């Protein structure tokens, strides 16, 4: 009878040990509450898209905040950096817009928007000659529709009109 009793106790203890092991494996997670999903690049794009929607409603500061959130989620998201420069230009926060446009050029040197923003900033500060160089970096197709052969010709024409 002692052997039977011993087997029963060992079986019970083994079962308890397995159950405790399982509980310890899952218990810390359940005590911490629901797990927050990992932030994805898609979350950054969502924040960027929200910012675009806010810009379309002329809510430039709110849009800028949304672009900043997108950049916190994905600092290399060039689209959000470009959009942040556009939003800050419209706030207006010209130093911030200039800083973000230059950072956007570092991420996406062929994107026309940050060059355009730098040109607009220079123009708004009456630095017409300084405005030509950033426009030279913008894609020429943007300006062909305005009757210019390229962006530099477009802005040179603008400078001539300003001086007349």
Residue 96: the pLDDT is 98
Closest CA to 81 of 102, 112, 57: 102
- Which residue is listed with tokens 């509980």? 23
Residue 35: the pLDDT is 54
Residue 130: the pLDDT is 80
Tokens of 141: 């197709």
| H, E, C per residue of the chain | CHHHHHHHHHHHHHHHHHHHHHHHHHHHHHHCCCCCCCCCHHHHHHHHHHHHHHHHCCCHHHHHHHHHHHHHHCCCCHHHHHHHHHHHHHCCCHHHHHHHHHHHHHHCCCCHHHHHHHHHHHHHCCCHHHHHHHHHHCCCHHHHCCCCCCHHHHHHHHHHHHHC
At 74-83, the pLDDT tens digits run 999 999 999 9
Q: What is the CATH number of domain 41-163?
A: 1.25.40.10
Find out whether 87 and 65 touch, Cβ atoms under 8 Å.
Answer: no
- Which residue is listed with tokens 């494996």? 25
List of the chain residues with pLDDT < 70: 1-38, 134-164
Residue 79: the pLDDT is 97
Q: Per-domain residue ranges for the chain?
A: 41-163
The pTM score is 0.64
Residue 117: the pLDDT is 93
Residue 2: the pLDDT is 59
At 105-122, the pLDDT tens digits run 999 998 889 988 998 999
Q: What's the Cα-to-Cα distance from 45 to each of 63, 70, 109, 116, rounded to whole Å?
A: 13, 7, 20, 23
How many degrees, rounded to 5, is the angle at CA 81 between CA 80 and CA 85? 115
């Amino acid at each position: 009878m002692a052997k039977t009793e011993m087997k029963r106790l060992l079986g019970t203890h083994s079962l308890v040990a397995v159950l405790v092991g399982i509980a310890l494996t899952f218990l810390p997670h359940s005590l911490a509450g629901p797990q927050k999903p990992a932030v994805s690049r898609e979350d950054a794009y969502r924040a960027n898209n929200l910012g675009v929607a806010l810009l379309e409603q002329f809510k430039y500061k709110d849009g800028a905040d949304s672009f900043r959130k997108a950049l916190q989620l994905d600092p290399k998201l060039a689209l959000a950096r470009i959009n942040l420069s556009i939003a800050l230009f419209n706030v207006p926060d010209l130093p911030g817009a200039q800083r973000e446009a230059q950072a956007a050029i570092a991420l996406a040197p062929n994107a026309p928007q940050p060059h355009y923003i730098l040109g607009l900033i220079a123009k708004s500060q009456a630095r017409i000659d300084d405005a030509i160089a950033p426009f030279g970096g913008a894609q020429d197709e943007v300006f062909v529709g305005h009757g210019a052969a390229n962006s530099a010709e477009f802005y040179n024409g603008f400078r001539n009109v300003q001086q007349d």
